[in-house]
């Protein structure tokens, strides 16, 4: 019976059952897009990553239960963790992923995985009132990045209490909506939540790619290039952020929760 190795990994955490879960499918050969989308729907996690060897690294694609996406941080972290922990990649070498967002490189620094991602800064301001009905509050600032809308709220209490209108968010022509503010806890610089019902994820537990926008935004506001962030979803997760010109270096840990095989029926 043909099978493909499949891992369930919690990313941006050092403890199982927290952070953001991702499935990682380790492929030997290319697979059809429809098949990968079906697997992602079956996994029913915010992202499923599909990795296969290619010249000078690995091909990497990401799927939500409903759609392929152009950039995903936590599933990239999970994919690198899977390759190193299964000895599919040399533990002492960085990993080069070829993706729809270009070349992404992951490295290990002790238990931390660092990821070199493109920055996706705010490209234009938005009318904050456009988000008021969907979020239930009027943001103090709103802007648009390449993928998402970003809304700044007054306090962490307001952010944590948000109960957005998912139908209204789903109707917006963007991947998702990032909501953020300064952190109350002195250990962190800022906190956020991320809502993406339009691609099948009402609230994503920890969104690495959102920090490609959050990093440049808070770096300008706080006057620092190195930041530590907390995503305040029910599961929660910690993201280290370093802004380096038009790149953002994201850092986090990961834990393997399940290591098994997907029956392909062959």
Q: Compute the distance between CA of residue 118 and CA of residue 55 in angstroms, rounded to an integer.
A: 22
Looking at residue 91, what is its pLDDT? 87
pLDDT at 266 over 70: no
Task: State mean pLDDT over 176-194.
Answer: 98
Looking at residue 139, what is its pLDDT? 97
- Per the listing, tokens 């440049």 go with 216
How confident is the model over 27-83, as pLDDT tens digits? Answer: 999 999 999 999 999 999 999 999 999 999 999 999 999 999 999 999 999 999 999
Task: State mean pLDDT over 182-202.
Answer: 97
How confident is the model over 83-97, as pLDDT tens digits? Answer: 999 999 998 899 999
Q: Compute the distance between CA of residue 158 and CA of residue 18 in angstroms, rounded to an integer.
A: 23
Looking at residue 100, what is its pLDDT? 96
pLDDT at 265 over 90: no
How confident is the model over 9-41, as pLDDT tens digits? Answer: 999 999 999 999 999 999 999 999 999 999 999
Quick one: tokens of 103? 């070349």
Task: State mean pLDDT over 116-120.
Answer: 97
pLDDT at 2 over 80: no
- Per the listing, tokens 């917006």 go with 172
Task: State mean pLDDT over 187-216.
Answer: 97
Positions annotated as catalytic residues are 47
- Inter-residue contact 211 to 229 (CB < 8 Å): yes
How confident is the model over 218-256, as pLDDT tens digits? Answer: 999 999 999 999 999 999 999 999 999 999 999 999 999
Q: What is the CA radius of gyration of the chain?
A: 18
In which element (H, E) is residue 149 found?
strand 148-152
Average pLDDT, the chain: 96
Q: Compute the distance between CA of residue 164 and CA of residue 155 in angstroms, rounded to an integer.
A: 16
């Amino acid at each position: 019976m043909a099978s493909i190795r499949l891992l369930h990994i919690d990313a941006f955490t050092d403890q199982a059952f927290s952070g953001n879960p991702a499935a990682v499918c380790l492929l030997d050969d290319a697979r059809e897009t429809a098949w990968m989308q079906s697997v992602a729907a079956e996994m029913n996690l915010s992202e499923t990553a599909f990795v296969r060897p290619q010249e000078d690294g690995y091909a990497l694609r990401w799927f939500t239960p409903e759609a392929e996406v152009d950039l995903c941080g936590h599933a990239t972290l999970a994919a690198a963790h899977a390759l190193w922990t299964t000895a599919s990649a040399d533990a002492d070498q960085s990993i080069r992923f070829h993706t729809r967002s270009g070349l992404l490189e992951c490295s290990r620094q002790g238990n931390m995985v660092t990821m070199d991602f493109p920055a996706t800064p705010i490209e234009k301001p938005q009318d904050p009132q456009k988000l008021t009905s969907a979020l239930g509050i009027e943001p103090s600032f709103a802007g648009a990045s390449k993928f998402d809308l970003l809304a700044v709220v007054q306090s962490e209490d307001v952010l944590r209490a948000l109960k957005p209108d998912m139908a209204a968010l789903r109707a917006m022509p963007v991947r998702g909506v990032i909501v953020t503010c300064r952190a109350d806890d002195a250990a962190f610089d800022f906190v956020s939540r991320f809502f993406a019902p339009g691609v099948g994820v009402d609230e994503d537990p920890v969104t690495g790619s959102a920090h490609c926008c959050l990093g440049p935004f808070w770096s300008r506001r706080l006057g620092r290039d190195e930041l530590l962030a907390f995503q305040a979803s029910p599961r929660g997760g910690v993201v280290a952020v370093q802004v380096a010109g038009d790149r953002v270096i994201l850092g986090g840990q990961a834990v393997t929760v399940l290591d098994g095989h997907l029956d392909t029926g062959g």
